């Protein structure tokens, strides 16, 4: 017999409960720190991805909050970082660019070093392939995030992003999306009128993103580059890195369609696409045109077109067709009976700056913003569109979301093989509708 009133079993239960309570307190304390920062406290910002979009996001972030400083840079390539420092220093917020040499990180794992360097907010602006990996690491480390669009290039990436954004909610972290039209007052007021019935019930949407050919840098290819380095430096024309034009840029147009439909997801999609022009053997494996129809359970259809070719008509437009009228989204106006019945005439702030203003205000106020659901779903619209153009099949949203196609390389290293390799003539194989399978 023992005089201890607590049995070994009950003691184990007590210790378990105590440990759980302690862990909960630590989590709550971490959430509280993440959720509120006083107005005069410095927010330390880190940028992952030092290309033009990344540098632009960094300047916009510092403009958004006078007590923010850019203190760390990360990129796959050291030369990108060194090129960025003087450019950022010359910007209107250059006095708050304070990136010491020991806070400049290069390589595939550079994002990990930046996250561990004492930053509070991370700007993610690398090629889209890396977004799910980087976002997950940021949230695990308790960082607020600006995530440039799109947020993935395949369905496994989308599933990862959705799970990460749910975790961010639990931790009280803000995640603001680079789908900047949602932060435009002009677009917000236009969509509000559509949702309030100004054009009646939505019947169809026509959305178009036709522009010039994709960029390609670093020509001629340097002999010391491996195939992996060549592709990562020239990421846009490679599907595994960019997702294709339908994902990398047309996602903006699809996001506006999704927004108009109050973020319903399509029932299925079908379409056509291909590479009509192969004048350069170095143009990777993306298509140069996609034409996709998205069908919804209520009979609504979204007609989506995008093209990247030289010498053709360019058009970036969105028309929402209703039972009473038409909304021209890009011109912020409502037409009924062929006459303009409403046109936005309010303030027109820079939406790229507004999204960062809202991010930093949310951190200061302890009122987290989480754009996770719509940024993932709109990206998945685009991925679904690529799936149907690459395969030539009609694919449901449900099947697409369950897709096992993973565009990741087997490992991330400069001597590793990327997911696609050129043939003996230097050409990269393209998807062939009707032959390329859905996975």
Domains of the chain: 27-180 (3.40.50.720), 182-348+372-401 (3.30.360.10)
Q: State residue 10's pLDDT score.
A: 38
* Model pLDDT, residue 216: 75
Task: List Cα–Cα distances, 349 to 1, 93, 187, 394, in angstroms.
Answer: 78, 18, 11, 41
Which residue numbers in the chain have pLDDT < 70? 1-36, 218-219, 279-282
Beta bridge mates, 204: 301, 321
pLDDT digits (tens, 9 = 90+) for 230-253: 999 999 999 999 999 999 999 999
For residue 140, what pLDDT is reported?
98
The pLDDT score that the predictor gives to residue 425 is 85
Query: Could you tell me the two tokens for 430?
Result: 């393209």
Q: What is the 3-state secondary structure (H, E, C) of the chain?
A: CCCCCCCHHHHHHHHHHHHHHHHHHHHHHHHHHHHCCCCCCCEEEEEECCCHHHHHHHHHHHHHCCCEEEEEEEECCHHHHHHHHHHHHCCCCHHHECCCHHHEEECCCHHHHHHCCCCCEEEECCCHHHHHHHHHHHHHCCCEEEECCCCCCCHHHHHHHHHHHHHHHHHCCCEEECCHHHHCHHHHHHHHHHHCCCCCCEEEEEEEEEECCCCCCCCCCCCCCCHHHHHHHCCCCCHHHHCCHHHHCCHHHHHHHHHHCCCCCCCEEEEEEECCCCCCCCCCCCCCEEEEEEECCCCCEEEEEEEECCCCCCEEEEEEEECCCEEECCCCEEEECCEEEEECCCCCCCHHHHHHHHHHHHHHHCCCCECHHHHHHHHHHHHHHHHHHHHCCCEEHHHHHCCCCCCCCCCCCCCCCCCCCCCCCCCCCCCCCCCCCCC
Specify the pLDDT at position 111: 98
Q: How far is CA 324 from the centre of its chain?
A: 34
Would strands 144-147 and 121-124 be described as parallel, antiparallel, or unpaired?
parallel
My answer on whether omega of the bond before 389 falls inside 30° of 0, hence cis, is no
pLDDT of residue 279: 65
Model confidence over 88-112: pLDDT tens digits? 999 999 999 999 999 999 999 999 9
pLDDT at 283: 79
pLDDT given for residue 180 in this prediction: 98
What is the structure's pLDDT at 70? 98
Angle, alpha carbons 291-179-215 (nearest 5°): 60
């Amino acid at each position: 017999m023992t005089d201890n009133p607590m049995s070994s079993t009950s003691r184990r239960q007590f210790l378990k409960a105590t440990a759980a309570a302690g862990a909960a307190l630590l989590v709550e304390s971490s959430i509280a720190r993440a959720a509120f920062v006083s107005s005069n406290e410095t927010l330390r910002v880190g940028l992952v991805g030092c290309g033009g979009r990344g540098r632009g996001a960094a300047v916009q972030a510092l403009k958004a909050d006078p007590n923010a400083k850019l203190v760390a840079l990360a990129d796959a390539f050291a030369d990108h970082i060194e090129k960025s420092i003087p450019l950022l220093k010359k910007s209107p917020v250059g006095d708050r660019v304070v990136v010491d040499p020991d806070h400049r990180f290069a390589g595939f794992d550079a994002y990990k070093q930046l996250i561990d360097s004492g930053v509070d907010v991370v700007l993610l602006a690398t090629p889209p392939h890396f977004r799910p990996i980087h976002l997950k690491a940021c949230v695990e480390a308790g960082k607020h995030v600006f995530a440039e669009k799109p947020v993935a290039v395949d369905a496994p990436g989308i599933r990862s992003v959705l799970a990460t954004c749910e975790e961010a909610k639990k931790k009280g972290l803000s995640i603001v999306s680079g789908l900047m039209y949602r932060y435009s007052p002009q677009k917000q007021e236009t969509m509000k009128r559509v949702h309030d019935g100004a054009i009646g019930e939505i019947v169809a949407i026509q959305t178009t993103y036709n522009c010039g050919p994709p960029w390609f840098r670093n020509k001629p290819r340097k002999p010391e580059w491996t195939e992996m380095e060549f592709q990562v430096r020239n990421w846009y024309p490679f599907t595994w890195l960019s997702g294709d034009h339908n994902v990398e840029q047309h996602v903006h147009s699809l996001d506006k369609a999704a927004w108009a439909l109050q973020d319903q997801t399509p029932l299925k999609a079908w379409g056509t696409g291909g590479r009509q022009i192969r004048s350069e053997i170095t143009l990777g494996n993306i298509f140069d045109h996609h034409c996709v129809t998205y069908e919804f359970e209520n009979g609504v259809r979204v007609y989506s077109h995008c093209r990247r070719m030289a010498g053709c008509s360019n058009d970036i437009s969105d028309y929402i067709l209703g039972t009473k009228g038409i909304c021209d989204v890009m011109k912020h106006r409502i037409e009924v009976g062929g006459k303009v019945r409403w046109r936005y005439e309010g303030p027109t702030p820079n939406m790229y700056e507004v999204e960062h203003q809202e991010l930093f205000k949310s951190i200061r106020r302890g009122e987290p913003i989480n754009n996770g659901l719509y940024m993932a779903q709109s990206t998945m619209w685009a991925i679904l569109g690529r799936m149907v153009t690459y395969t030539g099949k009609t694919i449901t949203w449900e099947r697409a979301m369950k897709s096992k196609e993973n565009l990741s390389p087997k490992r991330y290293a400069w001597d590793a093989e990327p997911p696609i390799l050129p043939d003996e003539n230097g050409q990269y194989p393209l998807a062939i509708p009707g032959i390329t399978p859905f996975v």
